[in-house]
C-alpha cells in the first residue's frame, strides 16, 4: 500500500502575497501538478496532508474561494483522494473546530476527505494485514494539563492493525522552545496507543524520517515556505513530499522527494521584506527617518494617505527601491488604514 505525504500546503490563491515576486500563484499550482503527476505515475491514490491546507483564517471573498477550490478539485479530477486533518489555519480565527470554515466547505463538497471524522481503513490490504489512517486536528497546548488532555484524547488502537496517526502540532526530535512533543514523547504515546507511524505537521522545519523502537516518525519540510524563516532565507528549506510504502510483510519503506521550486532570491523580494521589517517591527526607528521632512511635520493637517505619499520618496531613497516595489509595499500599508 502506497501513500504520498505532504506537509502544510497553505493555499492562498487570490490573496496578496507581501514578499513574493510575481508569478507565485503559478508556482503554487505547479507544485500541486507535480504532486499529482508523481502520484499517477507511481500508482498512488491517497495523498495524506498534515493540515493547514488553507492559509487565511478570515476575510474570504467568493472569488478567492473558487480559486482555491479549483486547486483541490485537480486531485479529484485525477481520481486521487486528498485526505487531511485540520490545522489551525483551516479553522476560522479564534475557533477550535472547522465549523463555518472554507475547509469545512471543501470537506462537504468532497474535495477533501476529512480523516479526523472518518479514518481511512484498508481491510483487505495484501490479503492479510489491515492499515488504518487516523488523525488529530490541531489543539493549542500550553502546559502539562493541556498536553495530557491531548494525549488522553487519542484512542488506543487495535494492535493487530498498522496504525498511522497524522498530527498538526509542533513536533521536534529534541526539546525546542516551541515544541509540543519530542520524538521520545511520541514514541511513548505510540507504545501506549498502538500507533506504528506518526505523520507530523505544523512545524515548518523538516527532518529525516526515523524509526525509534519500531515506531516510524515522518516529519518533512512543509510545502509552503515562510519568507521570515531563517532556513528559508538560507535556502535550506526544500519543499518536499514523502512516498510511504507498507509491504505485505509489514515493512515500512519511505522516500523523501524534493518538489521543484525557485530558490530564495527568485521567489522572494528581499527589498519588500526589509521595508515591512522596518514598518512592522521597529516602527520608532522607521519614523525617525522622516524627522527632518518639513512637509511631514504638518502631518496633523493631512490625511493618512497624504502622509504616506509624502513618505514614499524618503523610503525609496532609504531602501533604494523601484517605483513598483514601493507601490507593492504601500498597497499593504494602505489596506491597514481602512
| The pLDDT value given to residue 333 | 56
The answer to whether 182 and 174 have CB atoms below 8 angstroms apart is: yes
Helix residue ranges, H only, the chain = 24-41, 62-77, 102-108, 144-152, 183-193, 230-233, 264-267, 270-281, 283-288, 294-297, 304-319, 323-335
Least confident range of 1-10, 12-21, 196-205, 291-300: 291-300
Closest alpha carbon to 224 in 31, 40, 37: 31
The DSSP bridge partners found for residue 84 are 49, 114
pLDDT band of 285, cuts 50, 70, 90:
very low
| The pLDDT value given to residue 65 | 87
Domain ranges of the chain: 2-264, 269-335
Report the distance separating Cα 8 and Cα 336, nearest Å: 27
The 10s digit of each residue's pLDDT in 268-279 is: 676 655 555 554
- Return the sign of the alpha-carbon dihedral for residues 210, 242, 269, 69: negative
CA 193 → CA 12, 165, 196, 331, distances in Å?
Answer: 36, 10, 9, 51
Q: Rounded to two decimals, what is the model's pTM?
A: 0.78
The answer to whether 119 and 157 have CB atoms below 8 angstroms apart is: no
Report the distance separating Cα 24 and Cα 262, nearest Å: 10
The 10s digit of each residue's pLDDT in 136-169 is: 999 999 899 999 999 999 999 999 999 999 999 9
**Is 60 exceeded by the pLDDT of residue 294?**
no
**Is 80 exceeded by the pLDDT of residue 103?**
yes
- Percent of the chain at pLDDT > 90 equals 50
Question: What is the widest separation between alpha-carbon atoms in the chain?
Answer: 81
- The CATH fold assigned to 2-264 is Purple Acid Phosphatase; chain A, domain 2 (3.60.21)
Amino acid at each position: 500500500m502506497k501513500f504520498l505525504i505532504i506537509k502544510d500546503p497553505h493555499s492562498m490563491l487570490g490573496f496578496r502575497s507581501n514578499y513574493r515576486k510575481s508569478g507565485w500563484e503559478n508556482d503554487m499550482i505547479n507544485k500541486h501538478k507535480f504532486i499529482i503527476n508523481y502520484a499517477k505515475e507511481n500508482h498512488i491514490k491517497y495523498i495524506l496532508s498534515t493540515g493547514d491546507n488553507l492559509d487565511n483564517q478570515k476575510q474570504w471573498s467568493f472569488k478567492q474561494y473558487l480559486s482555491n477550490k479549483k486547486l483541490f478539485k485537480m486531485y479529484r479530477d485525477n481520481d486521487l483522494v486528498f485526505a487531511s486533518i485540520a490545522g489551525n489555519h483551516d479553522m476560522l480565527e479564534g475557533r477550535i473546530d472547522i465549523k463555518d470554515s472554507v475547509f469545512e466547505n471543501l470537506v462537504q463538497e468532497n474535495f477533501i476527505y476529512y480523516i479526523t471524522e472518518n479514518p481511512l481503513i484498508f481491510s483487505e490490504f495484501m490479503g492479510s494485514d489491515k492499515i488504518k489512517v487516523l488523525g488529530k486536528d490541531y489543539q493549542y497546548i500550553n502546559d502539562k494539563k493541556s498536553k495530557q488532555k491531548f494525549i488522553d484524547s487519542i484512542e488506543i488502537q487495535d494492535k493487530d492493525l498498522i496504525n498511522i496517526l497524522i498530527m498538526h502540532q509542533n513536533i521536534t526530535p529534541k526539546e525546542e522552545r516551541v515544541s509540543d512533543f519530542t520524538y521520545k514523547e511520541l514514541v511513548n504515546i505510540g507504545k501506549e496507543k498502538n500507533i506504528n507511524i506518526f505523520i507530523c505537521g505544523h512545524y515548518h522545519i523538516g527532518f529525516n524520517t526515523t524509526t525509534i523502537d519500531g515506531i516510524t516518525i515522518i516529519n518533512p519540510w512543509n510545502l509552503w515556505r515562510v519568507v521570515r524563516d531563517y532556513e528559508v532565507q538560507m535556502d535550506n528549506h526544500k519543499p518536499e513530499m514523502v512516498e510511504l510504502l507498507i509491504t505485505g510483510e509489514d515493512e515500512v519503506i519511505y522516500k523523501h522527494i524534493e518538489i521543484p521550486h525557485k530558490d530564495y532570491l527568485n521567489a522572494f523580494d528581499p527589498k519588500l521584506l526589509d521595508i515591512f521589517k522596518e514598518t512592522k517591527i521597529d516602527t520608532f526607528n522607521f519614523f525617525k527617518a522622516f524627522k527632518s521632512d518639513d512637509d511631514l511635520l504638518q502631518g496633523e493637517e493631512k490625511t493618512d494617505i497624504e502622509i504616506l505619499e509624502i513618505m514614499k520618496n524618503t523610503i525609496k531613497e532609504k531602501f533604494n527601491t523601484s517605483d513598483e516595489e514601493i507601490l507593492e509595499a504601500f498597497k499593504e500599508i494602505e489596506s491597514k488604514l481602512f
